């Protein structure tokens, strides 16, 4: 009888070789709750073959996806999903490899090194904190939270990157993005609607003075009412 851990262990993040890697925090846990609440959707409707997490940090989110959300009910690891993870910080890519050996990490600016249309699922817990623009994307741990004006500098680039990475219509694809109230999530949702995505607020929480929400942007798929003739 094996004990099933419900949260991936990321105790190695934030220390030693991984001092510059953002350890799992309240925002990460909200994202895990989002994925848990979307388990049926992910396993039965989306059924991703390729997932890409942009800005994986410790790897906790993708580890949870592959180990607990997508794995079968017996808890045996090995979902039919290749989980790719990117991070600007090479230490984070290595940390992710330690967090879960099933993940496929690569050091990259956003996901510029990945081919267009390769993903069914994109995940991003971005640097969302409003800061001066010159703090964005620097080396070291500040890159994990510095989001520039309104915390939107990286988020705005992510919208375009996710759109590029996801399989084109008619294939069903989804993008989950975590935001802070100051990022103006409803405005981002409207922008995604303009780009052809259905927007949905999945989870919302007030943690440590931050109002955080995770949104799902969905594109493609066959409507229930459509009748397909083969």
Partner 1 sequence: IFKISNMKLILHNMLTSAMIKGVKKGYPLLLRATKVELQPVEFDAGFVVHMLPRLDWSGVTAAVQCLNQPDLLQDPLPELPPTVPDDYANNEDFLRKAHIALMQLDVIEGCLVCPETGREFPIAKGIPNMLINDNEAA
Residue 130 binds partner 1 (CB under 8 A):
no
Among 7, 41, 43, 97, binds partner 1 (CB under 8 A): 97
115 is a contact residue toward partner 1 (CB under 8 A): yes
142 binds partner 1 (CB under 8 A): no
Among 54, 103, 143, 159, binds partner 1 (CB under 8 A): 103
Among 50, 154, 166, 189, binds partner 1 (CB under 8 A): 50
- DSSP run (H or E) holding 215: strand 210-219
Q: Is 84 in the site for partner 1 (CB under 8 A)?
A: yes
User: What count of other Cβ atoms lies within 10 Å of the Cβ of residue 149?
Assistant: 12
Q: Which stretch binds partner 1 (CB under 8 A): 21-29, 103-111, 179-187, 207-215?
A: 103-111
Q: Choose one: 74-82, 122-130, 174-182, 189-197; the region binding partner 1 (CB under 8 A).
A: 74-82
**Dist CA 137 CA 133 (whole Å):** 9
Q: Among 16, 112, 140, 168, which residue sits at the site for partner 1 (rule: CB under 8 A)?
A: 112
Minimum gap (Å) between residue 78 Cβ and partner 1: 6
Contact assessment for residue 214 and residue 189, using Cβ atoms and an 8 Å cutoff: no
Residues sharing a CB contact under 8 Å with residue 138, sequence separation 6 or more, in sequence order = 146
For partner 1, give the closer residue by CB, 94 or 129.
94
d(CA 128, CA 90): 20
User: CA-to-CA distance for 28 and 105, rounded, in angstroms?
Assistant: 18
Phi and psi based region of residue 144 (left: phi greater than 0; alpha: psi -120 to 50; beta: remaining): alpha
Binding-site member from 100, 121, 123, 124 for partner 1 (CB under 8 A):
100
158 binds partner 1 (CB under 8 A): no
Q: Point out which residues pair with 51 in neighbouring strands.
A: 83, 121
Closest distance to partner 1 from the beta carbon of 5 (Å)? 15
CB-wise, 114 or 179, nearer to partner 1?
114
Determine the length of the chain: 230
* Count of positions on this chain that bind partner 1 (CB under 8 A): 28
Q: Residue 83 in contact with residue 65, Cβ under 8 Å? A: yes
Cα–Cα dist 149/9, whole Å: 33
When binding is defined by CB under 8 A, the residue of 101, 194, 208, 229 that contacts partner 1 is 101
Helices (H), 166-219: 185-194
d(CA 150, CA 186): 14
List contacts with partner 1 (CB under 8 A).
Answer: 12, 49-50, 78, 80, 82, 84, 88, 90, 93-94, 97-98, 100-109, 112-115, 118
């Amino acid at each position: 009888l094996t004990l099933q851990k419900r949260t991936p262990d990321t105790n190695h993040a934030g220390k030693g070789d991984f001092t510059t890697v953002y350890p799992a925090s309240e925002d990460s846990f909200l994202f895990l709750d989002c994925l848990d609440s979307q388990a049926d959707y992910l396993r039965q409707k989306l059924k991703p073959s390729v997932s890409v997490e942009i800005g994986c940090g410790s790897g906790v989110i993708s580890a949870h996806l592959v180990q607990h959300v997508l794995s079968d009910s017996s808890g045996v690891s090995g979902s039919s999903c290749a989980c790719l993870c990117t991070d600007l910080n090479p230490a984070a890519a290595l940390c992710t490899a330690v967090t879960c050996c099933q993940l496929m990490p690569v050091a990259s600016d956003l996901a510029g090194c990945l081919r267009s249309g390769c993903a069914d699922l994109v995940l991003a817990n971005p640097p969302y904190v409003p800061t001066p623009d010159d703090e964005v994307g620097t080396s070291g741990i500040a890159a994990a939270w510095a989001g520039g004006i309104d915390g939107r500098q990286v988020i705005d680039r992510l919208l375009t990157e996710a759109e590029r990475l996801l399989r084109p219509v008619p294939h069903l694809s989804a993008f989950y993005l975590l935001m802070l109230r100051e990022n103006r999530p409803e405005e981002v949702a409207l922008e995604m609607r303009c780009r052809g995505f259905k927007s949905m607020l999945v989870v919302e929480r007030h943690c440590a003075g931050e109002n955080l929400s995770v949104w799902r942007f969905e594109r493609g798929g066959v409507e229930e009412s459509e009748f397909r003739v083969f």
